[in-house]
C-alpha cells in the first residue's frame, strides 16, 4: 500500500481510538479550565466528575463528542500525511539515519517535520475545538453540534469559527514538534527494532510523549479555552490580563490533572493503533522501500478532539 494512503488511513483509525478512549477526561479539563474565581464550581477533577454524574448524567461526559470523533479522524489523517511528506522532503527515510544511534541532526529534522505538521493541523483544529468547547461548558443549551455551528453562523459569521486560531498555532507548533521528537527518542531508547516493539512499549512511548507535549504547552491552552468559550473577551490580551489579575499565575495550570489523565490514554491509543495498522499493511502488502521506511508516528493529543477534538485530540 502506498505510504501516503497508509498514513491517511492509519491516522483516521488512530484518531477514532484516541477520542473514544479519552473524551470524558477532556470534558473535565474544559469545565475546570473555564472556571473563574468568582464562580468556582469544582474543587478538583474528582469533584467535577462527581457533580457531573450527580447533577447531570454519565452521558454528559460525552456531550459534543460527535464533532471531535469525526474531526479527529480527518485531522489526524491530514497530520500524518503532512508529517510523512515533510519527512520525505527532509530525506529522513535515507539509510544514513537508520542506525541504532540517532544524531542530533536527525532529531532536529524530526522537530521541523512535526512543527510543519502542527502548523497545518492548527487551522483545521481551531474551529473544531471552538465548537467542542461551546458544547462542553456547563450552561450549554445546544442540543447538537450542528445546532451550535448554526447558531454561531447566524449570530456572527463564518470567520467567528476561527476565533482563537493563532492561539492554537502557538500551542500546536511546539506541541506537535515536541511530541514527535520525544516519541521517537523514547522508542529508540528501547534498542529494539520498531517492528518488534511490544504493544506495551508502544503504548508507554505514545502516552509519555503526549503528556510531555501537553506540559510544555498547557498555559497557552488554558487561555485559548477561555478565549474561545467566553465571547465577552474582545482580545487575547484582555483574556490574559483578567485571568492573571483574578487568579494569579496558578490559572495557567488549572485543569492540568485531567489533561494529563486524558493525554496518556489518548496518545497511547493513537500511537498503538497507527503502528499496529502499519505493521499489518506491511505484512499484507510491503512497500518497495520498506527497508528504509520509518514507522508511522502518532498524532498530537488533544487532535486531539472534523467539526472536536479532537483533539482533535490531545
pTM: 0.77
- At 92-132, the pLDDT tens digits run 877 777 776 788 888 999 999 999 999 999 999 999 899 98
Q: Is the pLDDT of residue 305 over 70?
A: no
Q: Give the pLDDT confidence score for residue 272 in this predicted structure.
A: 83
Confidence of residue 214 (pLDDT cuts 50, 70, 90): very high
DSSP 288: T
What is the Cα–Cα distance from 167 to 185, expressed in whole angstroms?
27
Average pLDDT over residues 283-310: 47
Give 127's Cβ-side CA count (13 Å radius). Answer: 17
Q: Are 257 and 58 in contact (CB under 8 A)?
A: no
The CA distance from 26 to 296, in Å, is: 25
pLDDT at 283: 80
- 141 phi-psi bin (left φ>0, alpha ψ -120 to 50, beta other): alpha
pLDDT exceeds 60 at position 279? yes
What would the mean pLDDT of 237-257 be, rounded to a whole number?
A: 91
At residue 254, the 3 state secondary structure works out as coil
Confidence class of residue 300 from pLDDT cuts 50, 70 and 90? very low
Range with the poorest average pLDDT among 17-31, 99-113, 263-277, 278-292: 278-292
Please check whether residue 92 is in contact with residue 131, taking contact to mean a CB–CB distance below 8 angstroms: no
Please say if the pLDDT value at position 171 is more than 90.
yes
pLDDT digit string, tens, across residues 230-244:
888 999 999 999 999
Q: Please report, for residues 42, 44, 238, the alpha-carbon distance to residue 243 in angstroms, rounded to integers and kept in the order given.
A: 17, 18, 8
Q: Which three cell numbers stand for residue 304?
A: 486531539
Task: Provide the grid cell at 189.
Answer: 531508547
DSSP annotation string for 166-206: HHHHHHHHHHHHHHHHHHHHHHHHTTS-GGG--HHHHHHHH
| DSSP structure string for 1-47 | --HHHHHHHHHHHHHHHHHHHHHHHHHHHHHHHT--GGG---SSHHH
In 3D space, the residue among 74, 110, 73 whose CA is nearest the CA of residue 93 turns out to be: 110
Cell of 271: 500511537
C-alpha cell at 47: 469533584
- Give percent of the chain with pLDDT exceeding 70: 87
d(CA 216, CA 286): 37
Determine the pLDDT at residue 36.
64
Amino acid at each position: 500500500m502506498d505510504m501516503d494512503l497508509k498514513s491517511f488511513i492509519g491516522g483516521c483509525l488512530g484518531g477514532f481510538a484516541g477520542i473514544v478512549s479519552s473524551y470524558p477526561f477532556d470534558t473535565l479539563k474544559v469545565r475546570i479550565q473555564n472556571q473563574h474565581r468568582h464562580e468556582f464550581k469544582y474543587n478538583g477533577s474528582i469533584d467535577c466528575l462527581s457533580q457531573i454524574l450527580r447533577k447531570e448524567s454519565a452521558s454528559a461526559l460525552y456531550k459534543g463528542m460527535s464533532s471531535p470523533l469525526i474531526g479527529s479522524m480527518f485531522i489526524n489523517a491530514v497530520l500524518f500525511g503532512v508529517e510523512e511528506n515533510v519527512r520525505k522532503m527532509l530525506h529522513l527515510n535515507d539509510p544514513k539515519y537508520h542506525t541504532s544511534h540517532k544524531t542530533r541532526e536527525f532529531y532536529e529534522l524530526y522537530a521541523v517535520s512535526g512543527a510543519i505538521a502542527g502548523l497545518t493541523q492548527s487551522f483545521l483544529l481551531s474551529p473544531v475545538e471552538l465548537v467542542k468547547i461551546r458544547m462542553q461548558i456547563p450552561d450549554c443549551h445546544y442540543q447538537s453540534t450542528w445546532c451550535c455551528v448554526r447558531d454561531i453562523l447566524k449570530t456572527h459569521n463564518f470567520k467567528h469559527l476561527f476565533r482563537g486560531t493563532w492561539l492554537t498555532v502557538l500551542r500546536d507548533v511546539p506541541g506537535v514538534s515536541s511530541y514527535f521528537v520525544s516519541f521517537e527518542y523514547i522508542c529508540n531508547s528501547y534498542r529494539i527494532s520498531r517492528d518488534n516493539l511490544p504493544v506495551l512499549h508502544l503504548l508507554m512511548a505514545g502516552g509519555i510523549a503526549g503528556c510531555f507535549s501537553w506540559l510544555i504547552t498547557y498555559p497557552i491552552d488554558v487561555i485559548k479555552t477561555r478565549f474561545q468559550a467566553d465571547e465577552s473577551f474582545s482580545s487575547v490580551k484582555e483574556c490574559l490580563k483578567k485571568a492573571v489579575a483574578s487568579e494569579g499565575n496558578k490559572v495557567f495550570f488549572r485543569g492540568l490533572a485531567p489533561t494529563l489523565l486524558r493525554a496518556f490514554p489518548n496518545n497511547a491509543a493513537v500511537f498503538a493503533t497507527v503502528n499496529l495498522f502499519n505493521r499489518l499493511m506491511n505484512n499484507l502488502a510491503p512497500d518497495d522501500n520498506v527497508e528504509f521506511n520509518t514507522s508511522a508516528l502518532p498524532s498530537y493529543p488533544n487532535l486531539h478532539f472534523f467539526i472536536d477534538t479532537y483533539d482533535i485530540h490531545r
